[in-house]
Amino acid sequence: MKKKKKLGRQMVQKIMVVMLLVFIVFGIIATSLLFSKVSDFAAIGFDSVAAGLQGTFEDFELRNLEVDGSDEQEALNRLQSEVDHYQDNISFVSDRLMLLTKVEEEWIYLYGMEEDKVFELGSPVEETSEDLEKAYKNQQSVGNDFSGRFFLDREPLSFYVPLETADEEVVILHTTIKTDLIWGLLAGMVSLFVLLLGIVLVTVNIVVGTVIAKEMKTMKTLVNKVEDIAQLKGDMTKRIEIHSDNEIGTMAENINELLDTVHDLMKTLRSSSDQLMKSSSAFQSLMVETEGRTQEISSAATESKNIIQGRTLAMKEMQNKIYRINDEVAGVADLSQSLRQMTKDTAKESNTGKTAMSEMKSYVHHTVDQVQDTGEKIGSLKNISKEINSIVASIKGITEQTNLIALNASIEAARAGDQGKGFAVVAGEVRKLAEESANQASSIEERISLIQNQIESTESSMGETLSTIQKEITMVEAVDQSFEGIAKSVDQVSDRVSKVYSATEEITNFSNEVNREMENLTNYFHSGDKTVDGMIEGVLEQNEKVQGLTEEVTLINRLAQKLHELLKNLKL
């Protein structure tokens, strides 16, 4: 963490920096004024020197000196003597005093001294300046101002004063101020300002530091109280006792008002956090219990969904079996219809045979006993069972007996000779019909066997097999009686076939009804499955919401505990 600075020290430092800047600006201004005064003082002094030399130049003709220097030698010597005298008088200020003039656009020395160096008459001037030309041209005094070149290059301050000779020629007096003198003045000025600055800064540091330290003591009380508020610790019942009519006093009053507000807020928060902890704990327990129950409901819903799927598959399989049963029953119905037609044809043929036998009775009386012996009724069929196999077995037995009787009839007709030919033809037709009936009965038996296999998967049994009704038919009776028995047997077969046909129709209707019920039940189950699926999805979604709500409640409980921990260090 970055180390913090004290406000009092920062204020003192800022005040001292401001004072330093003020002294620097003041020093620069004072130095400029000092140098300006020095320059003015030097200009006045140099003007007085020029005024003194001007009296000498009033008797001095420069042209005569140039033509014949001997005539003006005395005046020149006097001029040089005065220059030496003035140089001695201003040596503490200037180390250069020269007389310059312009001859044929060339600058030459009349006389000059620079420290220990002397410039004689006619010596050329090596370097000239704009100020020199300006003073010569305007015949006015020209002096340098302080500039950067003076401080950087240590260039001296030069002054150019124009003088006029008796022959109205212009001579320039060139003199300078010593650089060391100016730098000495500058060093003294800077030393004085540094000394004054040090005294002022120390005084300001002591005075301002004392005043600020007193105020900062009061400020520290405010900072400590605000720090207690920020860190949620300390005694929130105590108030700041600072009696001051400045901004610090106003700040103390505002902080006390803030303490009142924060105190009330903290009391409310503590009460709310305690209540929140209790409520969140109870709600968390309730949510944990709810989550467990929703998990149980979700598991039960998933298991129920699996059971429904298994039931749906079983219903589809059962419906497929019923469809196959319907197909087999329809086949049996078709065969029963064909068999019924055959029994009608058999009955017709048996009636024809009965008529023939009646005609033959008058001619073959001796065969009556045999016909009567064999014409006993093959017996009535006993109680017909509800099972279709029993009916088919009876049909097969009857057809076999019919075939045997027809065979016996054929034998008897053969014995009768020519008189029995018609009877033999009828007996042969009866035999063929009996054989075809037997074949049809076998087909029915096979179909019924298939039906039994299908019915056994959906019903425990279609009934007990009808007990076989055996009838002993005496074939000793007359052939007429035999054919009468055949007619009765054919009628019985026709009746049985009708019952089979009715039974198959009833089975078909029942199967169709069952099929419709199965379709309705399947649709009902399908609708129920959708409802259950929606319920399961709702339960799963509710379970997810409960889990999310449980997490939110856990988070609220943690926040309540954290708030309680923050507020427990406060005295309210």
Dihedral, CA of residue 421, residue 423, residue 425 and residue 426, to nearest 10: 170
Quickly state the pLDDT bin for 465 (edges 50, 70, 90). very low
Residues 521-526: what's their mean pLDDT? 67
Q: Are residues 334 and 481 in the same domain?
A: yes
Last residue of a domain, one of 497, 514, 531: 514
Q: 3-class DSSP state for residue 510?
A: helix
Q: Does the pLDDT value for residue 568 go beyond 70? A: no
Do 361 and 368 meet the contact criterion of CB atoms below 8 Å apart?
yes
Instruction: Identify the pLDDT of residue 472.
Output: 42
CB count, 10 Å around CB of 197? 18
User: Cα(first)–Cα(last) distance of the chain, in Å?
Assistant: 31
Whole-number Å distance between alpha carbons of 309 and 443: 40
- Is position 537 within any domain? no
Instruction: Identify the pLDDT of residue 277.
Output: 67
* pLDDT tens-digit map of 407-435: 777 787 777 777 766 767 777 777 777 77
Do 237 and 571 meet the contact criterion of CB atoms below 8 Å apart?
yes
- Is position 260 within any domain? no
Q: Find all residues with CB under 8 Å of 212, minimum gap 6, and list them.
A: 8, 11, 12
CB count, 10 Å around CB of 70? 10
SS3 content of the chain, % helix, strand, coil (to 5): 75, 10, 20
Quickly state the pLDDT bin for 383 (edges 50, 70, 90). very low
Whole-number Å distance between alpha carbons of 249 and 240: 10
Q: Does the pLDDT value for residue 481 go beyond 70? A: no
pLDDT, averaged across the chain: 68
* pLDDT tens-digit map of 546-565: 666 667 667 776 766 666 66
- Is position 456 within any domain? yes
Whole-number Å distance between alpha carbons of 450 and 325: 9
- Is position 491 within any domain? yes
Dihedral, CA of residue 12, residue 17, residue 21 and residue 26, to nearest 10: 40
Whole-number Å distance between alpha carbons of 83 and 173: 10
- Is position 173 within any domain? yes
Number of independent structural domains in the chain: 2
- Is position 420 within any domain? yes
Instruction: Identify the pLDDT of residue 126.
Output: 82
Give the residue carrying structure tokens 């003194």.
52
Helix (H) or strand (E) holding 241: none
Do 402 and 437 meet the contact criterion of CB atoms below 8 Å apart?
yes
Whole-number Å distance between alpha carbons of 494 and 339: 8
Write the DSSP assignment of 313-350 as a string of letters: HHHHHHHHHHHHHHHHHHHHHHHHHHHHHHHHHHHHHH
Q: Are residues 195 and 333 in the same domain?
A: no
Angle at the Cα of 518 from the Cα atoms of 517 and 524, rounded to 5 degrees = 90
Domain span holding position 191: 7-127+163-201
Last residue of a domain, one of 183, 201, 219: 201
Quickly state the pLDDT bin for 473 (edges 50, 70, 90). very low
Quickly state the pLDDT bin for 439 (edges 50, 70, 90). confident
Instruction: Identify the pLDDT of residue 304.
Output: 63
Q: Does the pLDDT value for residue 343 go beyond 70? A: no
Do 295 and 542 meet the contact criterion of CB atoms below 8 Å apart?
no
Last residue of a domain, one of 201, 228, 259: 201
- Strands, sheet with 157-164, edge to edge from the N-terminal-most edge strand: 117-119, 106-114, 96-103, 170-177, 157-164, 142-143
Quickly state the pLDDT bin for 506 (edges 50, 70, 90). confident
Dihedral, CA of residue 549, residue 555, residue 561 and residue 567, to nearest 10: -110
Q: 3-class DSSP state for residue 388?
A: helix
Instruction: Identify the pLDDT of residue 1.
Output: 47
Q: Does the pLDDT value for residue 216 go beyond 80? A: no
Instruction: Identify the pLDDT of residue 17.
Output: 79
Quickly state the pLDDT bin for 260 (edges 50, 70, 90). confident
Cα Rg of the chain (Å, integer): 76
Q: Find all residues with CB under 8 Å of 395, minimum gap 6, and list them.
A: 339, 437, 441, 444, 493, 496, 497
Whole-number Å distance between alpha carbons of 39 and 336: 155
Quickly state the pLDDT bin for 135 (edges 50, 70, 90). confident
- Is position 319 within any domain? no
CB count, 10 Å around CB of 542? 14
Instruction: Identify the pLDDT of residue 288.
Output: 66
Residues 44-55: what's their mean pLDDT? 70
- Is position 62 within any domain? yes
Do 58 and 168 meet the contact criterion of CB atoms below 8 Å apart?
no
Q: How many residues does the chain have?
A: 572
Whole-number Å distance between alpha carbons of 199 and 193: 10
Helix (H) or strand (E) holding 236: none
Whole-number Å distance between alpha carbons of 100 and 114: 13
Do 238 and 518 meet the contact criterion of CB atoms below 8 Å apart?
no
* pLDDT tens-digit map of 79-97: 777 777 777 777 667 777 8
Question: Sign of the C-alpha dihedral, residues 225, 226, 229, 230?
Answer: negative
Angle at the Cα of 4 from the Cα atoms of 2 and 9, rounded to 5 degrees = 150
pTM of structure = 0.33
Instruction: Identify the pLDDT of residue 371.
Output: 41
128 or 519: whose pLDDT is higher? 128
